Each structure stands twice: as C-alpha cells, then as structure tokens.
Amino acid sequence: NAGVTQTPKFQVLKTGQSMTLQCAQDMNHEYMSWYRQDPGMGLRLIHYSVGAGITDQGEVPNGYNVSRSTTEDFPLRLLSAAPSQTSVYFCASSFTSSDTQYFGPGTRLTVL
C-alpha cells in the first residue's frame, strides 16, 4: 500500500494563477480531508468528504474547491492563487472522521 500520496511536493505560483493539488489513497477510506498548516495556527480544515460524490466545507474553505468523483482521489483546486494561500497543505484519509487519519507528506505552496 502506498497510503496517502500527494503531488506535487513543492509548487510556486504567481498571484492569480490556478492549480490543482492532487491527493490519492489506496486504503479504501471513505473520509478524506484537506488541511493547511501555517505557523502558530496548527492544521486548519479546508474541505472534507465523507464519501464519493459528497463534499463539505471546513473551517477555511474560501478560495478553494474540491470534488470527489472516486473513493481514491480528492483533488484540491485553487481558483485564483493569492499570497495568503502560501502554506503547507496536507491531505488525509480515514474510514470515518473519528478513526485514525493517515496524512500525506504535504505540498509546500508559495504564492508570489
């Protein structure tokens, strides 16, 4: 099992550009989520999904879109990148929201 994989590992964008952060898991987990980690803030939930076709907003959803067309994949789209979106992004998956969440290695995003 590869677990939770995220691509790319690093990305630099210019303000206004769009991009998609990829996340995939091979553990047949129903619950998937995206977090951003900023200094002094811990991890903040952006969006989550309790199963294919179902997504919902977390604590900081503005500027981000998600979709869940398959159980395995949960991409995060930045519509128009802003410097405030400079952060480290983590994807996670688990069987349910209360189960152990397995995190990917993270994507470090810089928006200039």
Partner 1 sequence: DQQVKQNSPSLSVQEGRISILNCDYTNSMFDYFLWYKKYPAEGPTFLISISSIKDKNEDGRFTVFLNKSAKHLSLHIVPSQPGDSAVYFCAAVNDYKLSFGAGTTVTVRA
Residue ranges that bind partner 1, judged by CB under 8 A: 4, 31, 33, 35, 40-45, 48, 50, 56, 58-59, 90, 92, 97-98, 100-106
Beta carbon of residue 2, minimum distance to partner 1 (angstroms, whole number): 13
Q: In DSSP terms, which residues pair with 90 in a beta bridge?
A: 35
Q: With contact defined as beta carbons under 8 Å apart, do 89 and 35 qualify?
A: yes
37, two tokens: 């980690």
Please identify, using beta-carbon distances, which residue of 18 and 59 lies nearer to partner 1: 59
Please identify, using beta-carbon distances, which residue of 43 and 82 lies nearer to partner 1: 43
Beta carbon of residue 15, minimum distance to partner 1 (angstroms, whole number): 26
Interatomic CA distance for residues 52 and 37, integer angstroms: 25
CB count within 10 Å of CB 18 equals: 11
